[in-house]
């Protein structure tokens, strides 16, 4: 028995490629297929040779022109097949099937793989078994006669294919421009000529940064004080105070009644009572302000110290920030309105090897929402993560210190990230950039603020990498195994004596003593006014001055530190001076 069938197929197939289960950097992508199709077949068989002689298959394996049981079988001649399928199986009707339809349905099931060859090319190979719903494609069924009788199963056939494909890009790529990184000298020149507040005084010479727009300033960049009352005009509610008039912190002249009231409140005299009035309302209570809940991804928790490996993973995340609750520091990423967005970021971070969990944040407090997350995670089952961030993240390390420093030291530092390592050092980082030029400009700003040990560090995919990978030009080899500890420019550090702290007007007797003392500076704050004396470069001189001030009647005077106009504990100043 022999046959040849020309098969024409039309239908559809579904392909599943295991996308969410495979690595994003995969080269080989397996797939499985299943479908439904229409199959049309035209089956023929080879019964005669080119001379029209029928094939007779003998028991010795030969093919002859006469049957083996013919009377003249001795005259049989051996012939060979010409493999020309000239006889239509349906037209022969050897088994009495009649004019059956040469058409049926089939279910194709296949497996294969796609190999990414790069540059838009891919190589595909696969094999598909077509399970038909008919048993007459080869003309043989269980109803066939004689040696043509087959089994009762429907026919099936296997198709194997190989192909090479090319993906034609749908959009023209933007022409890449080669950018030359700025040198250190060029960056310094840019920063030295910068004027952040636009007051006409360059930042290195500006003693009053962030001056309100349009405010007239002096040669040092400080707002003018037209009436000489000590309050700059942009903050002065009374621009024409009389010469020598005593004014409050808003520059408004204080009358005798106000002066007396403040003095009596300070003295708390037993001969004077302050009468207070109280008004009660029985109307409806004001509703409490609505607390907005957002969702974040927690990537780490610090109680003691954390490993260098975890430090590098945390710092490689561009938008990481810290939340302090008591002695514990939480490192969180993102700020999402809904859980699914946070879950996609969690999957992305886990793909980078960062252990993470979705939590809710309300007023700086983290809340466990594992039950809500589990429900949303079930809905998202089978969905892939978002694009992983593989850019280089450049930060500025301000320093590494044995003890945690006062927050006032870093009050003017944006995007501050504080991490304590297993080595006991507390590291301070600022900024998060993908452009090394912007990071270098930020470093110069930190140097001008007194962090003379500031330097650039780069991270990618949870590891510290060379600054060269971020586009910087190096003048020498970079050692990635160590991190310099950094230091503070001692010229911006001073010791001062806090003489007093007042929430109202200062009594005249006390004010006279402060005026006689000289070199006393008032510093306003949300909780009152501090009066500070002097500016000393060493602790010994400050302690001597404190003792002298205490001897003048200010028994509560004590030493504080000052850095960039911010008051810090004297102990912190001691640590910085000792470095």
Name the more confident of 342 and 525. Answer: 342
CA 246 to chain centre: 54
Q: Tens of pLDDT along 448-460?
A: 777 777 778 888 7
> Residue for token digits 């891919």?
122
pLDDT in the model for residue 235: 79
Question: What CA–CA distances, in Å, run from 519 to 369, 515, 553, 561?
Answer: 56, 8, 17, 16
Which pLDDT band holds residue 119 (cuts at 50, 70, 90)? Answer: confident
Q: How confident is the model at residue 112 (pLDDT cuts 50, 70, 90)?
A: very high
Q: Give a three-class secondary structure readout of 239-273.
A: CCCCCCCCECCCCCECCHHHHHHHHHHHHCCCCCC
Label each residue of 39-99 as H, E or C.
Answer: EEEEEEECCECCCCCECEECCCCCEECCCCCCCCHHHCCECCCCCCCCEEHHHHCCCCCCC
d(CA 130, CA 197): 75
| Helix axes of 570-578 and 539-551: crossing angle, nearest 10 degrees | 150
Residue 246 zone, left/alpha/beta (φ > 0; ψ -120 to 50; rest): beta
Q: What is the pLDDT of residue 155?
A: 92
Q: pLDDT tier at 104 (50, 70, 90 boundaries)?
A: very high
Cα separation of 450 and 565, whole Å? 12
- DSSP 3-state assignment of 87? strand
Cβ atoms of 431 and 442 closer than 8 Å: yes
Residue by residue, DSSP assigns 417-477 as: EEEEBTTSPEEEEEEEESSHHHHHHHHHHHHHTT-TT-EEEEEETTEEE-GGGGTPPPSS-
Number of CB atoms found within 10 A of residue 126's CB:
19
What is the structure's pLDDT at 280? Answer: 44
475 — pLDDT class (breaks 50, 70, 90): low
More confident residue, 530 or 289: 530
Distance CA 472, CA 406 (A): 33
Most confident listed range (55-69, 273-287, 331-345): 55-69
Residue 463 CA from chain centroid, whole number: 14
What residues form DSSP beta bridges with 395? 457
333: phi then psi, degrees, rounded to nearest 5: -130, 140
Structure tokens at 85: 């399928």
Let me know: does 451 contact 488? Beta carbons within 8 Å: yes
Q: Are 73 and 66 in contact (CB under 8 A)?
A: yes
- pLDDT above 90 covers a percentage of the chain that reads 16
Residue 73, CB-side half-sphere exposure with 13 Å CA sphere: 10
3-state secondary structure of 11: strand
Spatial distance between the Cα atoms of 47 and 64, rounded to a whole number of angstroms: 12
Structural domains of the chain ordered from first start = 4-46+85-166 (no CATH), 291-389 (3.30.70.1070), 391-470+482-488 (3.30.70.1070), 490-578 (3.30.70)
- End-to-end Cα spacing for the chain: 97
Contact 420, 426 (CB under 8 A): yes
Which tokens sit at 8? 């024409």
Beta strand segments in 470-565, E: 493-502, 520-525, 528-536, 558-563
Q: How much is the pLDDT for 44?
A: 92
Distances (CA, A) of 369 to 290, 341, 375, 379, 454: 19, 14, 10, 16, 39
Can you name the residues that pair with 90 across neighbouring β-strands? none
Average pLDDT of the residues in 391-414:
79
Confidence (pLDDT) at 110: 96
Supply the pLDDT for residue 282: 43
Nearest to 245 by CA among 233, 232, 234, 231: 231
In this predicted model, what pLDDT tens digit does every residue of 548-562 receive, in sequence order?
A: 888 888 888 899 988
Name the band, by pLDDT with cuts 50, 70 and 90, for residue 7: very high
The string of DSSP letters for 318-333 reads TTEEEEEETTEEEEEE
| pLDDT value of position 216 | 82
Q: Is the pLDDT of residue 246 over 90?
A: no
Q: What is the CA radius of gyration of the chain?
A: 44
Q: What's the rounded Cα separation, in Å, for the pair 573 and 566?
A: 12
Q: Select from 527, 552, 532 the least CA-distant residue to 542.
A: 532
Q: Tokens 């990978």, residue? A: 469
pLDDT in tens, 26-47: 889 999 999 999 999 999 998 9
Angle at 247 between CA 241 and CA 253, to 5 degrees: 55
pLDDT of residue 418: 84
**From CA 387, how far away is CA 186, in angstroms rounded?**
35
Residue 470: what pLDDT?
Answer: 67
Rounded to 5 degrees, φ, ψ at 52 are 85, 10
- Could you tell me the pLDDT band of residue 278, with boundaries at 50, 70 and 90? very low
The reported pLDDT for the residue numbered 276 is: 41
Query: Do the beta carbons of residue 341 and residue 294 sit within 8 Å?
Result: no
**Interior CA angle at 144 toward 142 and 147, to 5°?**
100
Q: What are phi and psi of 444, to 5 degrees?
A: -65, -40
Contact 167, 122 (CB under 8 A): yes
Q: What pLDDT does residue 484 have? A: 58
pLDDT (average), residues 220-240: 81
Query: What is the predicted pLDDT for the residue at 290?
Result: 58
How far is Cα 245 from Cα 253, in angstroms, rounded to an integer? Answer: 6
Q: Which residues of 313-326 are buried (b: 16+ CB within 10 A; e: fewer)?
A: bbbbbbebbeeeee
Please write the tens of the pLDDT for every residue from 42-59.
999 989 998 889 999 999
| pLDDT tier for residue 173 given thresholds of 50, 70 and 90 | low
User: 107: closest CA among 129, 131, 83, 123?
Assistant: 131
Quote the pLDDT of residue 230: 80
pLDDT (0 to 100) of residue 480: 55
- Is the whole model's pTM more than 0.85, yes or no? no
Residue-averaged pLDDT of the chain: 81
**Range name among 193-202, 267-276, 279-288 with the lowest pLDDT average:** 267-276
Higher per-residue pLDDT: 423 or 476: 423
């Amino acid at each position: 028995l022999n046959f040849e069938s020309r098969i024409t197929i039309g239908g559809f197939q579904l392909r599943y490629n295991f996308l969410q289960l495979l690595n994003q950097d995969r080269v080989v992508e397996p797939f499985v297929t299943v479908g439904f199709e229409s199959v049309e077949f035209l089956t023929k068989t080879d019964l005669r040779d080119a001379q029209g002689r029928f094939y007779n298959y003998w028991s010795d394996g030969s093919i002859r022109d006469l049957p083996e049981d013919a009377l003249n079988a001795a005259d049989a001649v051996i012939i060979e097949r010409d493999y020309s399928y000239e006889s239509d199986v349906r037209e022969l009707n050897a088994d009495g099937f009649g004019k059956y339809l040469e058409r049926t349905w089939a279910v194709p099931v296949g497996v294969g793989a796609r190999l990414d060859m790069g540059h838009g090319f891919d190589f595909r190979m696969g094999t598909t078994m077509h399970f038909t719903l008919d048993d007459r494609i080869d003309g043989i069924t269980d109803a066939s006669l004689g040696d043509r009788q087959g089994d009762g199963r429907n026919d099936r056939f296997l198709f194997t294919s190989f192909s090479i494909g090319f993906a034609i890009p749908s959009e023209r790529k933007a022409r890449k421009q080669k950018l030359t990184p700025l040198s250190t000298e060029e960056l310094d020149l840019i920063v030295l000529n910068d004027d952040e507040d636009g007051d006409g005084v360059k930042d290195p010479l500006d003693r009053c940064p962030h001056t309100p727009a349009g405010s007239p300033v002096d040669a040092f960049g400080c707002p003018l004080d037209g009436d000489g009352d000590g309050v700059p005009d942009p903050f002065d509610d009374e621009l024409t105070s009389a010469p020598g008039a005593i004014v409050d912190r808003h520059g408004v002249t204080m009358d005798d009644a106000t002066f007396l009231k403040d003095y009596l409140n300070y003295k708390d005299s037993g001969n004077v009572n302050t009468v207070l009035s109280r008004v009660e309302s029985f109307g409806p209570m004001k509703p409490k302000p609505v607390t907005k809940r957002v969702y974040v991804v927690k990537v780490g928790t610090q109680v003691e110290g954390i490993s260098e490996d975890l430090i590098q993973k945390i710092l490689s995340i561009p938008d990481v920030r810290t939340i302090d609750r008591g002695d514990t520091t939480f490192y969180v990423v993102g700020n999402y309105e809904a859980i699914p967005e946070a879950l996609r970021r969690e999957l992305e971070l886990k793909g980078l090897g960062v252990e993470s969990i979705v939590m809710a944040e309300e007023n700086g407090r983290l809340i466990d929402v594992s039950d809500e997350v589990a429900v949303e995670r079930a809905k998202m089952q089978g969905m892939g993560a978002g694009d992983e961030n593989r850019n280089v993240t450049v930060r500025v390390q301000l320093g590494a210190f044995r003890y945690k420093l006062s927050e006032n030291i870093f009050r003017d530092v944006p995007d501050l990230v504080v991490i304590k390592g297993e080595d006991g050092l507390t590291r301070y980082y600022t900024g998060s950039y993908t452009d090394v030029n912007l990071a270098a400009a930020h470093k110069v700003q930190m140097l001008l603020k007194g962090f003379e040990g500031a330097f650039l560090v780069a991270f990618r995919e949870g590891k510290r990498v060379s600054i060269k990978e971020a586009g910087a030009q190096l003048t020498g080899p970079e050692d990635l195994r160590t991190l310099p500890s950094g230091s503070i420019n001692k010229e911006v550090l001073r010791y001062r004596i806090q003489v007093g702290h007042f929430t109202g007007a200062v009594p005249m007797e006390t004010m006279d003593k402060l005026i006689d003392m000289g070199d006393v500076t008032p510093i306003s704050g949300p909780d009152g006014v501090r009066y500070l004396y002097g500016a000393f470069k060493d602790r010994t001189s400050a302690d001597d001055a404190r003792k002298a001030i205490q001897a003048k009647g200010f028994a509560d005077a004590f030493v504080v530190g000052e850095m960039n106009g911010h008051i810090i504990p004297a102990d912190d100043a001691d640590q910085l001076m000792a470095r």
